[in-house]
Structure 1
Amino acid sequence: MPIDDQRRLIDPARAEAALAGLGDRATLQEWAERFSVIADPTRLTLLVCIHYAREICVSDLAAVAGMSDTAVSQALRLLRAHGLVTAHRSGRTVYYRLADDTMHELIHRVRPHSESDGVG
């Protein structure tokens, strides 16, 4: 999308840099939707727990988050639909993990690791 020619620019170079930084608008929309999903404190709690555990099953996640298995399963379904977590089955148990390094980095920004956490 070009810069509106009808507007007077104070610093065209910075305006061009800002426009270039926006990149694909569809990607911005996708991330806005992801942020709206993780803005919920319950879902963010689950993501932080998954981050620290590396991978975890629903029952264990429910226990540490103080939620019912059903509530955790519903939240995980939404997180999975938005590509924030992935799952794999081991026997009868399904384990969840964060979907990508970007989500790990976001969690580091929300809840940075400290030396006392024992997590590297």
Structure 2
Amino acid sequence: MSSASDVVDGCAVRVVDREKVALVTAAMPETDTVTDLAHVFGLLSDPGRLRIIVALLEGGEMCVCDIAAACGHSESGVSHALRLLRAHRVVRVRRAGRMAYYRLDDSHVRLLLDLALAHAGHRGEGS
């Protein structure tokens, strides 16, 4: 027996729009691209790593010590998180002697974060 919520979450009548499906299928990114994107979103799903990314969004280029202090994390924890973020091209590093300075990899990462923060800040629109 189906409930009213089943109809809201699914189609009451199953009809496939073949033209629309073909259009969407043609525009679908390659499997490797989707997998890479899922990894990036997975990295962003961790609150600790997200704090680090937001710190870099607000502070620009920062050393590990400053990031740790700003986020309230240990330096070793921040270093580990930065290693993961760097492997997935979310951040990049610049070395100056014994210091390592991190920043967001490119403007796409900044745009993604700005949009995500704007989305998180609005409530009830289009619900």
TM-score, scaled relative to structure 2: 0.76
Distance 1:42 1:55 in 2: 18
TM-score, scaled relative to structure 1: 0.80
Q: Which structure would you say has the larger Rg?
A: 2
1:34-93 deviation digits (Å, cap 9, x = unpaired):
111111000011001111112110000011101111111111111111111100012321
1:31 — aligned with what?
37
Give the letter for the 2:25 counterpart: L
Does residue 48 (structure 1) correspond to residue 51 (structure 2)? The answer is no
Question: Any idea what SS the aligned residue of 1:34 has?
Answer: helix
Give the letter for the 2:108 counterpart: T
Does residue 100 (structure 1) correspond to residue 120 (structure 2)? The answer is no
1:73 — aligned with what?
79
Give the letter for the 1:35 counterpart: F
Distance 2:73 2:16 in 1: 53
Does residue 58 (structure 1) correspond to residue 69 (structure 2)? The answer is no
- Percent identity between matched residues is 37
Question: Any idea what SS the aligned residue of 2:103 has?
Answer: strand
Deviates more, 1:56-65 or 1:82-91: 82-91
Q: Which runs of 5+ in 2 are unaligned?
A: 1-13, 119-127
How many residue pairs end up in the alignment? 105
Q: 1:19 to 1:9 in 2, by over 3 A?
A: farther
Give the letter for the 1:110 counterpart: A
Deviates more, 1:8-17 or 1:43-52: 8-17
Distance 2:27 2:59 in 1: 34
Q: Which runs of 5+ in 1 are unaligned?
A: 1-7, 113-120
